[in-house]
Amino acid sequence: MNKRCTSSIILLMACFATTAVFAQEDFSANVVNQRAGKPTTSTPTRLYVTKDKMRVDSNEANGHGGSAIINFSKQTTIVLMPEHKMYMEFPQGQGPGAQRLQGLFRVGDVDNACAEWPKLTNKPGTKCRKIGSDTVNGRSTVKYEATSEDGKSGNFWIDPKIRFPIKWQDTSDGNSGELQDIKEGSQPSSLFEIPSDYQKMDMGNMGAHPH
């Protein structure tokens, strides 16, 4: 999964998705990142979101890839490994790539996201403030600013219709990202299920003996 999946300031945030799930539009989109204003050459990460679940598909330059399925209600993350037809299960917020997923979150109250800040972040001194309404790629958003204790700051734009950030920017180094090719609508339930021919990895033996 792309190590720059989210800008560094966004990684200071705890995952808003741990809060209650609210009514919102299902959708899919590409996660596209830029470094210092220039698009990365990596294949875009594909995102699928439905009700209380989210799936992230990534493809590496070497042809390898994998998927993560986050179940917000059960607070679990399933990591799928297609090459081996195996999967791993972790508590939400743990496991491979967990930190990189923190910039992808569901918001409760889009107009008052900062009210959730104290119970969602463990970073002392990190502050959040609402900037106001803004438009990103033709979509209405609410813009916020996050400032870390060391003075670094970044912005993120939340789309009220899908209750999800569709743009983020680290103002300290110019790295940014956004959702592109957003397609609203119901997502196939099979995307959020473990394939029937996959076996669970035996974590005690690092996958040597699936069961």
Residue 100 has pLDDT above 50, yes or no: yes
- pLDDT, tens digit, for every residue of 186-205? 999 999 999 999 999 976 65
* Torsion angle of the four alpha carbons 137, 109, 52, 64, in this order, in degrees rounded to the nearest 10: 40
pTM above 0.85, yes or no: no
Helix/strand/coil for 4: coil
As a CATH number, domain 10-186 is 2.50.20.10
Domain ranges of the chain: 10-186
- Residue 25's contacts (CB-CB under 8 Å, 6 or more residues apart) are 161, 162, 184, 185
The one-letter amino acid at 64: H
Residue 35 has pLDDT above 90, yes or no: no
- pLDDT, tens digit, for every residue of 109-164? 889 888 765 554 545 667 889 999 999 999 999 999 988 777 788 888 999 999 88
